[in-house]
Amino acid sequence: MINSKVENHPVDLDRHTLQLFDATPVPMFCSSVTGDLEKINPALIQFLGFQQDEIHLPDFMIYHQDKFKLDKTTLDSLNADSSFPVVIETKYEHSSGAILSAQLTVVPQLNNSGEIIRYISQIVTSAVENKKSDQLQLASLVYAKSSEGMMITDKDGVIVDVNSSFTKITGYLKEDVCGKNARILSSGQQDDLFYKLMWNRINTSGHWKGELWNRKKNGIVYPVIISINTDFDKQGKVNKRVALFSDLTDIKAKERQIFKQAYYDTITGLPNRALFIERLNHIINLTKSKENSIALMLLDLDGFKEVNDTLGHEAGDELLKLTAERLLLCVKENGDVARLGGDEFTIILHDIKLLENTVKNILKKLAQPYSLENEEIYITGSIGITLFPDDSDQVSGLLKSADQAMYAVKKQGRNGFSYFTHSMHQEALDRLSSINELREGIEKQQFILHYQPIVKLANNEISKAEALVRWLHPEKGIVSPDQFIPIAEETGLIIEIGRWVVNEALQQVYVWRETVKENFQLSINESPLQFKSDENSFNNWFAYLEKLDLPGESVSIEITENLLMDFSESVDMKMQKFKDANIQISLDDFGTGYASLSYLKRFDIEFLKIDKSYVQSMEQDKDVLILCESIIQMAHKLDIQVIAEGIETQQQLDILKSLDCDYGQGYLFSRPLPVDEFELLISGSFIGAHGTPYV
């Protein structure tokens, strides 16, 4: 759009001359010495029928350059005698298409040396008659060529005339409507009150402008913006009314598209976070006045990430669409469903009497198989529930409460629902405090390693141990890993802790291979999160081994069955690099997961660790005993050695020896020890070593 001041190229006119140039009602323009258009004034814009806010002046100057370029004859006359202006009879085209006859007067502007530096031109219409003729022609062209539909009616609303754009917009020809009442266009979408208010405004002010819905000849209802003006005769009575209108169909469609992009999720078509919050605010305000209750559910899909990682994002998007469809079927007209982002959905339930059945129905529907990529996929949902106004009367408070309730479901094993309780809020505060303390512990290096021997059952030799991290809290003392590792994994802090553990453990095994046993091996746990996401930590293994000149067999990496199940090219590549470096791989807690036996050979596993829950049940449960025997036999046939965890009694040890188990680990031999006590244990001078229980 043009600015209020009309200017293009800078012109070195003095300030007073420039003010006159811009303020004069006479159309004027400046030209360069070559005759090119250099500057125009607002009066010229108006003369050509343009509004200043309708055009972009630089574009106007470019596209209308030829119409105002001074010809060679004019320039030659002015150059021959610069003391006299040149007067030319010419014509200009109005924006409506009308041709305007005018007289062009051109005078040169001289510098102090008497040289021509530019030309200043003014336009004057030839005569009053010409002006009147042009105005009539102009009015006729405006009426005929306007893009707006125009309709003229008499005082009673009977159509007298219409223009061509009226026909284009409505589909009615002039002969279809002339002589008929303008009500022929009515769609019936506006009620009597609407028209009563509209005509009251027209009758009192003579004018009305607004939006309404009309009907085309083919029956299609469409929106218009319409302006109705009244023409009064000399006595002040209504002579005619003129209506100008534009079809808003395309504009409304674009508005709907913009609204949809701003407020609806592109994958599921559900309301997004912005619209959800707006709706929840609105519902809360309505509910407050009625003193009713509503329920807010926050739902997170269990296992969605695995689908995304294994089948790809297209399959993940399709899963989100199918989930949205199932949620809508469960809620129907009783609530609102939205997608907050990722795999999180929210449901606002208006009638809390339906809450219990709705939640159970949702969990049941989600648990049914999904067909994706020619495979049947199973997922579940974790739902946190909060109530308004019992738990909070604010959107932020309700969302926070629902999130805390959902977290409780995740913590309890997923695939369920939980109501928010105020104790959850305290748990959330405690958890946040623990996270902050853990961050501080990492910064201040408050961690230590303890070591638990892994005993060769055939001869009680200790040539292996497992490094186990402990948090040496300044106030709580030694904190066991089961109290902080879950939080570390959830927050990603396990990666920083894991880096420290690797460096510390490798330094220690270097010392023990130099001072205690040349072939000593240390097992180091690696969480799935570390293994999959921390490339730097992964490379740190090899860099530090090389720095200490340690062979790969000096360490063993302990991984879980879940890591093998969550197989990816990245996991496969890292496992192969460990093998290439002669780092042995131990599968921890075997029997508690669902790993396919084919993975045991695929990844060339050296050790299986039987979970302590099996070891401690062997004496009482024959089925568990048979299972342990089967694991050991199967592992030996695959050239895999077996380590039994959690050995606490001599009877358990005797059974495992009879089953030809290779290694044992547990309190029967020793609890995890700090480095100085462990060195005594290895040397044989520590009470509790080699089969004597340490308490």
Residues above pLDDT 70, as percent of the chain = 86
282 and 302 part of one domain? yes
What pLDDT is attached to residue 214? 92
570 pLDDT band, cuts 50/70/90, is low
User: For the residues of 138-162, what is the DSSP string, one character each?
Assistant: HHHHHHHH-SSEEEEEETTSBEEEE
Q: How many CA atoms lie within 13 A of 417 on its CB side?
A: 20
CA gap 607, 466 in Å, rounded: 13
460 and 575 part of one domain? yes
Asked if residue 427 belongs to a domain, the reply is: no
The answer, yes or no, to whether the previous bond of 389 is cis (omega within 30 of 0) is yes
Region 527-531: mean pLDDT is 74
CA gap 103, 96 in Å, rounded: 20
CA 118 → CA 89, 310, 550, distances in Å? 21, 74, 87
Q: Which residue has the tokens 């807690």?
A: 589
CA gap 468, 490 in Å, rounded: 19
403 and 269 part of one domain? yes
128 and 154 part of one domain? no
Beta strands in 253-367 (DSSP E): 294-302, 335-341, 344-349
215 and 123 part of one domain? no
Other CB atoms within a 10 A radius of the CB of residue 59 amount to 10
Asked if residue 211 belongs to a domain, the reply is: yes
CA gap 474, 403 in Å, rounded: 31
- Tell me the sheet residues that pair with 371: 376
What pLDDT is attached to residue 687? 42
- Domain-terminating residue out of 91, 108, 137: 137
Residue 20 pLDDT more than 70? yes
What pLDDT is attached to residue 592? 63
3 pLDDT band, cuts 50/70/90, is very low
- Domain-terminating residue out of 71, 104, 137: 137
DSSP state of 71: P
Q: Which residues contact 257 (CB under 8 A, 6 or more apart)?
A: none
Asked if residue 233 belongs to a domain, the reply is: yes
Asked if residue 539 belongs to a domain, the reply is: yes
566 and 600 part of one domain? yes
**What is the CATH classification number for the domain harbouring 170?**
3.30.450.20
What pLDDT is attached to residue 686? 45
Asked if residue 5 belongs to a domain, the reply is: no
**What is the CATH classification number for the domain harbouring 353?**
3.30.70.270
Element (H, E) at 503: helix 494-515
Asked if residue 9 belongs to a domain, the reply is: no
526 and 654 part of one domain? yes
411 pLDDT band, cuts 50/70/90, is confident
- Domain-terminating residue out of 109, 137, 165: 137
466 and 600 part of one domain? yes
CA gap 607, 557 in Å, rounded: 10
490 and 549 part of one domain? yes
241 and 293 part of one domain? no
Other CB atoms within a 10 A radius of the CB of residue 197 amount to 13
Q: What is the pLDDT of residues 617-639, one digit of tens each?
A: 998 999 999 999 999 999 999 89
| 601 vs 525, higher pLDDT | 525
Q: What is the pLDDT of residues 648-683, one digit of tens each?
A: 999 999 999 999 999 999 999 999 999 999 988 887
Grouping H, G, I as helix, E, B as strand and the rest as coil, residue 285 is helix
Nearest Cα to Cα of residue 309 among 340, 269, 343, 339: 343
| Under 8 Å between Cβ of 69 and 36 | yes
Residue 136 pLDDT more than 50? no
- For residue 677, what are the domain limits? 435-683
394 and 473 part of one domain? no
What amino acid occupies position 283?
A: I
Q: What is the pLDDT of residues 30-68, one digit of tens each?
A: 899 999 888 888 888 888 877 666 677 777 777 788 888
What pLDDT is attached to residue 322? 94
Element (H, E) at 456: strand 447-456
Number of domains in the chain: 4
What pLDDT is attached to residue 2? 40
Asked if residue 7 belongs to a domain, the reply is: no
Cα of first residue to Cα of last residue in the chain, in angstroms, is: 87
- Mean pLDDT rounded to a whole number for the chain: 83
Asked if residue 197 belongs to a domain, the reply is: yes
269 and 405 part of one domain? yes
**pTM of the predicted structure, to 2 decimals:** 0.49
